[in-house]
Structure 1
């Protein structure tokens, strides 16, 4: 059996996700969510979550019970698919954790392989842009959870990625160097100062993911 991949993805426009909608009126972040399988065309499922304060009741959200300042709410999922949680249900992928605040939704979920993950991400980008991939983990991994980070090279421009790739392939990062800055810049057809500018910008973007 494959170990699978755990992905953390954030949405600023998560469609009609009832949990994200509820977070607009909740007092603080919604984090304690019980997961359930999202519906197929012939099934119905629910998700329950705890929130502070009053949340407006809708045709998809109903209160279950209250204790003190906190209440348990139930969100109903039904076709057609119109939120990221239900999109994961289409692919049979379990949700590990939800988080929602001020309408922004973050999902941690498991995909069995990269092919399924790619299909999910394609659907996410089609239905709920913009999509922010915050972390990807594939066990077994070394180090503590804090040390296992996803480096999002999508932050790089095409030119920055090209500069990094050529520099790496020519041995610029080796010790001793396989090529110096002048040689890499010549291979790219740019000035040395331009090469350095692109290289520093690319490294700064990637270091944010590694060191943040």
Structure 2
């Protein structure tokens, strides 16, 4: 399941409702009829018992916009938007009470002024200490500036490594960071 558009709280004992899009070629047989069919995806609406123990019902209780649910290999990734940091703390606390194995992977704060941006979380923790040091040194020396202020030989000498090793460290670090920026895996 992906691209959850809404998860709505139950009102006075009514069912909670979740709407989501599913790739047309990946619809399970037990889903029934879609609410709407696009060329490559189908929109479904599912009603949940207000007492159901699932994340979409929990988020619906907070009237929280859900960006997406993504289920894979027994794990569930939930992306939602909290109105405030206090609401986020309350929701995370509720999730931890209900789902003991919950693990917060990313918190992203949207820009508060100006035009909205396409923000993504970049996990520097994926980099080794050496890769981070190499990137930082190359950046500080102007290796990535236009025009370039330092070449690979200069940066490698500063780090006491060969230019070839510098290139390997930079390529490995860039590959990891680009995976986050391009949202290609976790």
The two structures have a TM-score, normalised by structure 1, of: 0.48
Q: In the alignment, which residue of structure 1 is the partner of 2:137?
A: 166
Q: In the alignment, which residue of structure 1 is the partner of 2:175?
A: 204
- The within-5 A match list for 1:33-182 is 33-35=7-9, 48-50=16-18, 53=30, 71-76=46-51, 95-97=64-66, 99=69, 101=71, 103=74, 104-110=76-82, 112=84, 127-129=101-103, 131-133=104-106, 137-140=110-113, 142=115, 148-154=118-124, 155-182=126-153
Q: Distance in 1 between matches of 2:57 and 2:47?
A: 19
1:17-55 CA-to-partner distances (Å, cap 9, x unmatched) read: xxxxxxxxxxx569342148xxxxxxxx9982348948x
Q: Segments of 4+ in structure 1 off by > 6 A? A: 83-86
Judge conservation of contact 1:46–1:76 (CA < 8 Å) in 2.
no
Q: Which has the higher strand share?
A: 1
The two structures have a TM-score, normalised by structure 2, of: 0.54
* Structure 1 residue runs without a partner (length 5+): 1-27, 37-44, 55-68
Q: In the alignment, which residue of structure 2 is the partner of 1:183?
A: 154
Aligned partner of residue 76 in structure 1, secondary structure: coil
**Could you say what the CA RMSD is over the residues aligned between the two structures, in angstroms?**
4.5
